[in-house]
Chains A and B, each alone.
Chain A
Amino acid sequence: MIFVLAATAIAASGLALLRALRLETGRIAVDGPLAWFVGSAWIGLSSFIARGLINIPSGPATSVVVLALPLVAWAVTSRIGRRRGPRDEGARDATGEGVRWMPRPTWLFGPMIAWTLLVAGGVTLHGLNTPVHTDDAFRVRALAPVLAATGAWTEPARQVIAMAGPIPTYVPAYAWTIGAEIDPVGVGATVVLTFLALLLLLVALASTRGTPEAGWGAAFAITSMPFFAYHAASTYADAWLGMFLAAAFAFLIAHGRTGSPSDAGRAMLLLLGASMVKREGEIVAAPVIGLLIVQAMAAERSWRRALRLLAPFVGAYLLLFAARVSAVGVGGAFPFLRAATERTMQAVPAVVASGPPEPGMRGAGEIFLRALLTEGNLGLLWWVLPVSAVLLIPRIRREGLSWSLAALAILLAEAAVSAVWLFPQFTLDNSTVHRSLLPVSAAASVWLGALLAARTPVTGPGVPPSKSRSAMLEGARPAPPVRQRGASRTRSREAPRRRGG
């Protein structure tokens, strides 16, 4: 019961933060799950900075203050009149225009929805009934919140917390800090809740933007990765990181389409969350954050405006960086940077450095490719995605998916570099290569859903419902004459750029 209350309070805090930043959409179906992500990110960020940088001990008082700060901020921004109502999408969503909840055609999406719900149910039940966890004796991710809840901050405790990351440490610990009995299943429940929030967010966001096919398609693609479904109930951090990245990609894609600064802000918040999910989270998210800043500059056509928009998030990112270094030092905070330096200094091929494979053994590159394509852990995602990207190039450009594709390429490159060059030994023994592909694959699922479901001719004036078909089955049909308000997909080169907001 206390866990449910704590989760509700975290989501409420996240919603208040969204409102204080004027980033809510005005649709509770979107804002609800988004608030869980944002609330988790806020709890992780503020608790870690308070403990690691300012040296405020963890405890019930700190937890309550941390949770209340966004509410105070929201009250203040409302009071001083800066809150002029939600931005673009919120205003549009509130009218109910352009919202379509049911994907079409039913014969295709019915089984997809059924599968998605089946996996969601299975993950929920298995995740809540499996001790943490039966294939390892314990998880660092599950030990860290226990340490945080008891206020441990010794050198070994700091190492554990830094390895787990702020979100896996402080979000599950919240219920325990305010009085719940420490039961490790709370960690699994937190991951399961994030998984359900992701599925809801994808569907609701796409539906409120008129393309439920994209949302259900993405949810189906994610739940069709057997290894991701397994890890959604395992308390390991890779799927958790993937959930934050997938949510961020939903808004990155929306930003690519509309150029809306609100979507850029939401994506930035979620990327900030992704950078707090595990030790290498900052490194994984950093290039995507950089790309988003460039994208926002291009959309705003003013680097000052873009910087003003995103500066608070970049500041938060730097504070997080500082808190981590303060807690465990540079070497402890970013061991892969040290590994990368060593690799570079060695100036020898990684596989050679880790010893040549025995006769008959496959090399790291081949194992990486097999993990991507033929082992089945990621379903058929990496068969469908590249073929779709190549055959639908005009659609990528028209739908503004190029930026998010570049971000995806960066994430995949990071995974490849890590698996083949930086830590090939873990690829050669098949220990981490599959897990390391989960985050980029979750993001790729969202991108693929957006690509295949793009250009939905929404039922509207002049379009009889019976004639309206799913974009998936329409193919690269020319843009419909009726544009959704606020969308800039079909903007010609000569047309003035819409600012959004």
Chain B
Amino acid sequence: MTGPCRAAWASLLLAVAPLQGAREIPLSDLDFQASPTSRAARRTAEGLVLPVDGLGVIVPRLQGVEVLELDYRATGILLLTWTTTRPDMAPQAHLSPWHHKRLEIGTGRLTLEMRTTPEWTPDRIPILFLEGAGELVVTGIRGRSIPADQKAVVQGWEEANRWAPIWIDHATINQLLPVALEASRGRVLSEALGLAFLAFSIGGALTWLAWRKRWRPAPFLAVVGVVAAMAGNIVFAARIWPSLALRPQPDASARLRENLHFRPELGALAGMARNEIRAGERVGVQVAPGDWFGWETLCFHLAPRPCVLVDPGAGMNEGLSGVHRLRAEELDAVVYHHATAPLLPGFTSVVSVGPESYVARRR
């Protein structure tokens, strides 16, 4: 779908079908904090304008919300994360299951399910994180409060978790979280399907034995096994579908821009660096301390160019698995991504995806 066409559809959608049972939240009830390099938030006729360069945090001043609905207009490259927290604890954005979505440029409406976020309880406070470089204009926000009836709260929570999408995050490589059939009792789908398989396959075979005096378990094992497996498969397909990248993209840089879901801005930077830095050039990467994902991603996608993490205090810089070792003076290019340290002396930005995210070369 083209940009104008998508925008037209979005406008139509905005006019209809707001979240049922939700109440409007005044934009003045949104607290916003951003990294120091970001400009300040401001109110306009359109809505609340939130400039982001690195990280921004939106905290709606309300409690006991099960679903939020956000109307917005976005520019730049922004990743939205939604979760909940408590006043007495530091919020963590990337806990599993990590609820995140890249915001398409233009207007849109998002329904943010809070009940499936990590460790959700009715008394927690919703919190939204914005990562990347761009501007988000919040044109409206609504929230649906939890029901007064405790039983309805539990039912709603279980229903939301039963069909919750699979969010691909840093822990997905280790396991897919089980489907909670009855989350309050800790019952999972595969256990129920397994028990049903045992009951129907063995029960069917025994019934056949009693009725026809013949022991034929194979048909019951096969048919019941396939039916039970298919039930699990359908649930899996419905849950994984939103996370799949199914649009073919043969160009490596474009693929990085579109599908590096964890850090869209980093993907765009990696794609840009692949195009900008020639084969054989030696690259240094400057990122914030502790940002292992950032520098490893950049160096990996720039391979086979020799690439190292720049440590301004060290004489020798090391790359992935210690394969490459380079001094700062040997570098031809630097990829700078929200580092706290200033850009290495002697380099200047040549192409950028944001003020703090760019490729630099020697002057």
Contacts and interface: CB of A to CB of B under 8 A. Distances in A.
A185 B229 contact: no
Contacts of B299: 138
Nearest to B266: A137
Contact of B232 (A137, A376, A395, A472): A376
Contact of B225 (A125, A226, A380, A395): A380
A142 B252 CA distance: 15
Interface stretch (B82-90, B108-116, B129-137, B237-245): B237-245
Contacts of A435: 173-174
Given A376-B179, A384-B197, A395-B218, A183 B173 contact: no
Interface string B244-264: 111111001001100111100
Interface centre among B223, B229, B295, B299 (most CB of A within 10 A): B229
Interface in A49-93: none
Contacts of A351: none
Interface string A124-149: 01101111111111101011001101
Given A135-B262, A380-B197, A143 B218 contact: no
Contacts of A234: 173
Interface centre among A134, A152, A184, A224 (most CB of B within 10 A): A134
Interface string B184-204: 000011110110011001100
A262 B258 CA distance: 48
Interface centre among B189, B198, B217, B256 (most CB of A within 10 A): B217
Interface residues of A, number: 75
Nearest to A470: B222
B197 to A, nearest CB: 5
B340 interface: no
B169 interface: yes
Given A122-B244, A226-B236, A379-B232, A182 B304 contact: yes
A137 B245 contact: no
A174 interface: no
Nearest to B257: A131
Nearest to B241: A122
Contacts of B189: 376
Contact of B245 (A129, A132, A473): A129
Nearest to B171: A135
B62 to A, nearest CB: 32
B141 interface: no
A431 interface: yes
Given A134-B168, A146-B303, A226-B240, A431 B216 contact: no
Interface string A427-447: 000111111000000000000
A380 B193 contact: yes
Nearest to B208: A475
Interface in A389-419: 391-392, 395
Nearest to A371: B175
Contacts of A373: 190-191, 194
A140 B174 contact: no
19 contacts: A108-B222, A125-B246, A131-B267, A135-B172, A138-B320, A143-B321, A143-B323, A157-B323, A160-B321, A184-B252, A185-B255, A220-B226, A374-B194, A376-B176, A376-B232, A379-B229, A387-B221, A434-B174, A475-B219
Given A224-B229, A380-B190, 7 more contacts: A125-B245, A135-B170, A135-B262, A146-B303, A387-B202, A430-B175, A475-B216
Interface of A: 108, 111-112, 115, 118, 122, 125-126, 128-138, 140, 142-143, 146-147, 149-150, 152, 154, 156-157, 159-160, 181-185, 217, 220-221, 224, 226-227, 230, 234, 236, 371, 373-377, 379-380, 383-384, 387-388, 391-392, 395, 430-435, 452-453, 471-476
